[in-house]
């Protein structure tokens, strides 16, 4: 157990709720392994107190913060500066201390990209399916466009929302790359190729683990690789269907790992080696099993 004293720097997580987070496992393990005198703590911020929490964190000399639901967009109003990618995505999950306040970053999407790279999955030139059209799906579409996917389809229950997101991301990308579709119209997808598919809804999340956004086995035969951004459960119905269709399937745990690692690197200016990332991932899995 590390000793904490007046020289120890503090980072933390703000959100509502935060009680079941595994983020302290990531950052406290990294701090110990890299020799940083740093501790990471979750802070439950009640509705209506976000501005006070950010200003209070700065006043208390906190080195940095992660931000989770429901504050990833609302926190932008209270920042000193914002990174261009976070501004494009419209969501911030990492605050880095600077003169006068905090600078906001989005490490979720770079975290997803690093997870995909570690799994040997490339985006450039891919035809991508994104299930859902909420804030996470929009962020994924921005990432896929930035990493030069050839074509991106947003499949959503309501076509109007998929249209809105497609127009926004196409405007940011400066090219026509995102196309909206109703979720039930997946049969209209071109059948001459297989797709990279990102599941960006909360369908299949604990406790409703027997559900998937699409149940038709024919859809999953079009998917060569499926990423479910859910990590509880670790093996979702979506992932099972992808594998049954002959594809490779991954959950969102590595995205959580790498978004944390990137945040830690921003706070400390220390690069995290891949072998250390694997060690942290193992500790995250252990912590999740203990919480059940």
As annotated, the active-site residues are 72
Distance CA 196, CA 37 (A): 41
Q: If you search the block for the tokens 């947003």, which residue do you land on?
A: 154
Distance CA 28, CA 91 (A): 25
Give which of 173, 227, 170 is closest to 196, Cα–Cα: 227
Cα dist from 243 to 107, 136, 194, 220, whole Å: 28, 23, 14, 8
* Contact in structure between 98 and 111 (CB atoms under 8 Å): no
Distance CA 172, CA 259 (A): 23
């Amino acid at each position: 157990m590390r000793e904490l004293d007046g020289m120890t720097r503090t980072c933390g997580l703000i959100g509502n709720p935060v009680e079941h987070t595994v983020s302290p496992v990531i950052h406290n393990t990294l701090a110990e392994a890299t020799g940083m005198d740093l501790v990471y703590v979750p802070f439950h911020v009640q509705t209506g107190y976000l501005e006070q929490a950010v200003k209070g964190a700065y006043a208390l000399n906190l080195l940095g913060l992660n931000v989770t639901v429901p504050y990833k967009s609302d926190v932008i109003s209270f920042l000193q500066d914002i990174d261009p990618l976070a501004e494009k995505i419209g969501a911030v999950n990492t605050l880095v201390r600077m003169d006068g306040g905090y600078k906001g970053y989005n490490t979720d999407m770079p975290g997803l990209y690093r997870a995909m790279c570690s799994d040997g999955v490339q985006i450039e030139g891919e035809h991508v399916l994104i299930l859902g059209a909420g804030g996470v799906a929009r962020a994924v579409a921005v990432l896929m466009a930035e990493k030069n996917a050839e074509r991106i389809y947003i499949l959503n229950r309501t076509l109007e929302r998929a249209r809105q997101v497609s127009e926004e991301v196409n405007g940011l990308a400066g090219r026509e790359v995102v196309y909206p579709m109703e979720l039930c119209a997946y049969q209209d997808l071109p059948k001459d190729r297989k797709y990279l598919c990102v599941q960006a809804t909360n369908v299949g999340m604990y406790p409703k683990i027997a559900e998937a956004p699409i149940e038709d086995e024919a859809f999953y035969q079009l998917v060569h690789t499926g990423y479910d951004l859910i990590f509880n459960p670790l093996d979702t119905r979506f992932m099972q269907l992808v594998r049954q269709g002959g594809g490779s399937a991954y959950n969102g745990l590595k995205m959580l790992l790498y978004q944390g690692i990137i945040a830690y690197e921003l706070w400390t200016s220390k690069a995290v080696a891949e072998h250390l990332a694997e060690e942290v991932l193992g500790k995250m899995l252990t912590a999740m099993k203990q919480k059940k």
